[in-house]
Homo-oligomer: A and B are copies of this chain.
């Protein structure tokens, strides 16, 4: 990786993602010192126990002042307070030596805008969205190989120094990820459609049937509602911070649903079959193939 070698990392939020990033860093280079920041001493103690972090801090500024890299890994709703806490203490310096800040959040426009405003444009923030995770929560499920083989979307803006973008990219590659660059807006529109909308639909689907209906449900329903098992607090923040793209995805979906309803209502067999065939063809030719190509965990 170009620039100063990463020797000290602060991970803010030592849950599944933060804990896994910490473990992965230490697996790659045991000499790197990892400081963990959290709200509760108990979570920090668990992170110390599994060897994810070397030091534990309830105060983010205390840890971040010494770091080459700070990773925000709390729910997105807590980013602002932590960015304000670390902004005054981050190491300045030349383009290769200043401290870098990134995150692992699932929405990017609002986060990137916030971070650039608080840390200062031309600052060292570059957003990341490692597409890995699971329904499990907490550092006890963290794994050094959680990110290995999965995709990380990096979302630089016109304000991002090229050197910072390259260093963040190199960091995720070091942890075994494939990286893709997208603008924060393009990222948010894409994940609204392939992740946030499906999540909302799964929740609605889960709540619609009666108790008796559920009694005759089978694996199709189980799979269609799997996303509804996700962490409510995390998903609340995702929907709130990607509101515009989620609303646009919901509206596009509602429009398509009205059209499909009309086909069913008028009993248009050929048009219904055409719709079903198009969906099947697209799934068979893309999803099945994409998933075989790379190991990707739940977003």
Contacts and interface: CB of A to CB of B under 8 A. Distances in A.
Interface of A: 77, 131-132, 150-151, 153, 180, 182, 187, 189-191, 193-195, 197-233, 235-236, 239-240, 243, 246-247, 249-254, 256-258, 260-261, 264-265, 267, 269, 272-273, 275-280, 282-284, 286-288, 290-291, 296-299
Interface of A is mostly: helix
A154 B186 CA distance: 50
Contacts of A224: 198, 201-202, 223-224, 226-227
B153 A216 contact: yes
A12 B101 CA distance: 65
Contact of A216 (B180, B216, B221, B264): B180
Contacts of A221: 194-195, 198, 287, 299
A105 to B, nearest CB: 15
Given A204-B253, A283-B225, A284-B229, A218 B265 contact: no
Nearest to A278: B207
6 contacts: A206-B283, A221-B299, A224-B226, A225-B283, A229-B288, A232-B280
